[in-house]
Amino acid sequence: MIQLNIITKNETQANKITTLLHEHKLVMNEYILKEVIGRIPNQAGKLTSVQEVLIVGTTKALLFSTITKLLRVYYPDDTPVIYAVPIVYMDESQTQDLINGTAKV
């Protein structure tokens, strides 16, 4: 199991991505966290703040590759940042819900 994190540029894109992932049964427990501030270097090399949106959800580790490929198809020029963190411990009933509620691998 993994915690999936996707950083998007705006809420519209985040809503479209969560709908897409839900329709393909790729993620459970999707949350959209608005008002996330990213710090990136500008052309002068100074850090500047940018508004971003974070999607957090849980899924099977074996679905990560499918998720990244799907997002590259839908967002070839503006692919969001995608990364995952392993889930070491998870409630047994929630684990079973995740297994049953996501696509078969």
4 closest CA partner among 39, 54, 52, 51: 54
Domains of the chain from N-terminus onward: 2-101 (3.30.70.120)
**pLDDT tens per residue across all 105 residues of the chain:** 999 999 999 999 999 999 999 999 999 999 999 989 989 899 998 999 999 999 999 999 999 999 999 999 999 998 999 999 999 999 999 999 999 999 998
Q: Cβ(59)–Cβ(28) under 8 Å?
A: yes
In angstroms, the CA 12 to CA 21 distance is: 14
Report the pLDDT value the prediction gives residue 105, as an integer from 0 to 100. 86
pLDDT value for 35: 86
